[in-house]
Amino acid sequence: MKDFFYGIRDLFVDVLFAPFDALRALELESWFSANIFSWLFMLIGFVAFVYWMLQLKKYNDNGEEDKSISSHSFL
């Protein structure tokens, strides 16, 4: 049973965490290269934000929403 858990440890440490070890080693050489995934995710988030705002503006300019100010009927 002990070998099973050592096998799981070896799988994670030697195989699945290898890309993170490579990024950690790369950080010593170039900070920008090591953080390329962070930059990529920030770019994707920014593009998604701009797209969402443009869609909201298009919906707002369409004039379909009822913007009359009124309370709920129970007030």
- Domain membership of residue 68 (yes or no) is no
- Domain membership of residue 42 (yes or no) is yes
- Domain membership of residue 67 (yes or no) is no
- Domain membership of residue 43 (yes or no) is yes
Looking at residue 73, its pLDDT comes to: 67
Domain containing 19: what range?
2-61
Q: Is the pLDDT of residue 11 over 90?
A: yes
- Domain membership of residue 72 (yes or no) is no
- Domain membership of residue 52 (yes or no) is yes
Number of domains in the chain: 1
For the chain, give the percent of residues with pLDDT over 90: 48
CA distance 61 to 59: 6
Tell me the residue type at 35: N
- Domain membership of residue 70 (yes or no) is no
- Domain membership of residue 29 (yes or no) is yes
Q: pLDDT tens digits for 15-43?
A: 999 988 888 888 888 888 888 889 999 99
Sequence-distant (6+) residues with CB within 8 A of 33 are: 26
